[in-house]
Structure 1
């Protein structure tokens, strides 16, 4: 960690390197501080379309050549879009880092957005949307997010709608990229077999064409809560519940990670033990936290049968409400150990390290040493977690999303009343 270096280029783009001695490969990517929540209503889904189109041809390479040139050296290239970022990354041998940087800079600055390619790729994305709707334990989380943050960018799905995706044209895609893909909002992060000074030199040449200023706006995320349920002919009810959580910058961020772990982070967690092991109400139950710069949610998911959904939802709520009073030091210590081990294990691969460092720089403006994170976790006391549980689960409006044979689920008003 002491070897991690950061350099800001003349245009404002930042370069991070994290050498890992003994490796012969490198993970290198560009993280753009722009995602689905930066879209206007008319642009819903365009961040994801742009991510796809970046691979579909540049002034120098066709779509096939982009794929062939990286795979001919045994590397691979990929990307993803989230609500608050878009990432493009490669995994290559050490000697092929210059090639990876060249390809990344090419697709992010010289994409031609050919109309025929756009037409074809839009239909691919339409199929992706259809597949998501056919996957209930996937689409349920879009319904949960939309109900938590209604009528605002943070609540919209990342993929967009079929009608909007089909309506995008070259001018819209290129215009969105020009406004949002700005050097100060982009981080080139590499881990593994990398040399900092060499990567900086490559970046200075390769990304010099990036603009410094553009029109970037982000509507604040305001949690509302509410109820979404859809009767569908499925074997199980897919049930998810959220309450307002904390942002990345909240003092309770690590306390929330502990609460996530002890309630539903593993086989020894409270929800797993009570709902699955003791009562046999489900196969899958887990908790997770979603944090953003200005908002966040604490969520639970479970899949269960039509006859079990009422009891499951009641027991789940019971467990959330009692945790602020019924905690002990041993439980906190065990969860802290799990959290610290998970963080360290997650940093053992170069791809994960490159991503974590890029996100830390975008969120906090600096790289957080693992020792500092461990100290922050260790500093969380029993009362801190109890206080956070009281803050999260009392006096709030929950969000419920349910999909499947939902007729036996209690009315929203009855469930919500228990949180007040």
Structure 2
């Protein structure tokens, strides 16, 4: 069966979309709401409100207490959760097929009928502040917030997803509730399900359950401007954490798959250049990888590594040299191997209901359509060695973003880094 034939999408008159990916071989379903709302849509003075709102959705509605929400879903063996990103927020569940109506009802309830009681808001502010504190204590996590901020300084795209503690501590109830009313528009949301689910039944459920979604014009979003720069944070840690990156490509850019293959080839696995040269040959790190992160209208390519205080002085020039020589020292075998790894990952992810649900939701929000898996595979196969050379040179033209965290005394100067990369 053509994989595309398992997918159906219906758009209601208010722009709200229902998308399903039916999997005949399973007895469960992953289902949720994905909204094109995230950290980059917040005003600077309310950084963290999107994430706090996501937390508050589980703290009681007009029909259910916080306890009722979790007890009802777990009473049928289900699972309920949510997450906030820079551009999307999701509220999702995993349930047995027969319990899809219950999951729809609960998700619709927490999005449309949350009460945001002051006592619950105070408690959840404290929880989020603890989460922010925990992130600060996790260097290989918090470094990416700093990396994003240096890449996009003084911009919504550069602000931390969890928010800043001094702002979250004082966010009032009307700001939290008002953010939902102003940002959660029907045409910027999709109800998505994958697994044993009937599309027509889900559409009927959605029409009845999601009857209070706001409509109206979409608020403007600040356009990102990549800058790059250098941030060094001296902390008493066992390792130096390093994030080095460059201006990348957006999700709809023609070079999206080229960037993905390039990142896989450079630092995506145990056969990648970074792993073989920096870890296997020189023993300078335990953890090192590259990444290509894409958003609606921008993207980042980068490398993360954790190494010792003495080793960082040797490691960073090696990473720079590997990047600089990649366009002139590349062979077809590497490209074919990296493409095979990406294709395998794409196909393996389709065995899980939750992964297929999230992939479909993202495709609908970004492209307003489902992308057949064979189209993805074909685009990966179309990436050539010359494409990799070209995009690597393109990355290196942009000013680097360098963030280091830990005992940073041996980190090479930023100007030396730029010269080494040129």
Relative to the length of structure 1, the TM-score reads 0.99
Cα distance between partner residues in 2 of 1:102 and 1:149 = 39
| Aligned residues of 2:78 and 2:94 also touching (Cα < 8 A) | yes
Shift of 1:266: 0.4
Cα distance between partner residues in 2 of 1:396 and 1:113 = 44
Q: Aligned to 1:358, which of 347, 361, 365?
A: 361
Cα distance between partner residues in 1 of 2:287 and 2:34 = 33
| Aligned residues of 1:51 and 1:86 also touching (Cα < 8 A) | yes
Aligned to 1:416: 418
Instruction: Report Cα offsets for 1:368-410 as digits up to 9, x if no partner.
Output: 00001111111111111111111112x3210001011101111
| Aligned residues of 1:396 and 1:419 also touching (Cα < 8 A) | no
Aligned to 2:317: 314
Aligned to 2:183: 180
Cα distance between partner residues in 2 of 1:366 and 1:344 = 19
Would you identify which runs of 4 or more consecutive aligned residues in structure 1 move more than 6 Å? none
Aligned to 2:84: 81
| Aligned residues of 1:244 and 1:297 also touching (Cα < 8 A) | yes
Give me the CA root mean square deviation: 0.9
Instruction: Report Cα offsets for 1:244-268 as digits up to 9, x if no partner.
Output: 1111111110000001101000000
- Matched positions, count: 419
Aligned to 2:407: 405
Shift of 1:215: 5.1
5+ residue gaps in structure 2?
none
Aligned to 2:347: 344
| Aligned residues of 1:245 and 1:298 also touching (Cα < 8 A) | yes
Q: Aligned to 2:261, which of 253, 258, 261?
A: 258
Quick check: 1:376 aligned with 2:383? no
Relative to the length of structure 2, the TM-score reads 0.98
Cα distance between partner residues in 1 of 2:103 and 2:395 = 44
| Aligned residues of 1:36 and 1:158 also touching (Cα < 8 A) | yes
Q: Aligned to 1:244, which of 243, 247, 260?
A: 247
Shift of 1:214: 4.8
Cα distance between partner residues in 1 of 2:258 and 2:235 = 37
Cα distance between partner residues in 2 of 1:138 and 1:22 = 37
5+ residue gaps in structure 1?
none
Q: What are the within-5 Å matches in structure 2 for residues 20-419 of structure 1?
A: 20-214=23-217, 216-393=219-396, 395-419=397-421
Residues 87, 348 of structure 1: alpha-carbon distance in 2 compared, 3 angstrom cutoff: same
Cα distance between partner residues in 1 of 2:53 and 2:157 = 18
| Aligned residues of 1:180 and 1:214 also touching (Cα < 8 A) | no
Cα distance between partner residues in 2 of 1:416 and 1:347 = 41
Cα distance between partner residues in 2 of 1:145 and 1:380 = 28
| Aligned residues of 1:264 and 1:285 also touching (Cα < 8 A) | yes
| Aligned residues of 1:35 and 1:82 also touching (Cα < 8 A) | yes
Shift of 1:155: 0.4
Cα distance between partner residues in 2 of 1:188 and 1:62 = 23
Instruction: Report Cα offsets for 1:143-176 as digits up to 9, x if no partner.
Output: 1111110000100100111111011111001110
| Aligned residues of 2:321 and 2:420 also touching (Cα < 8 A) | no
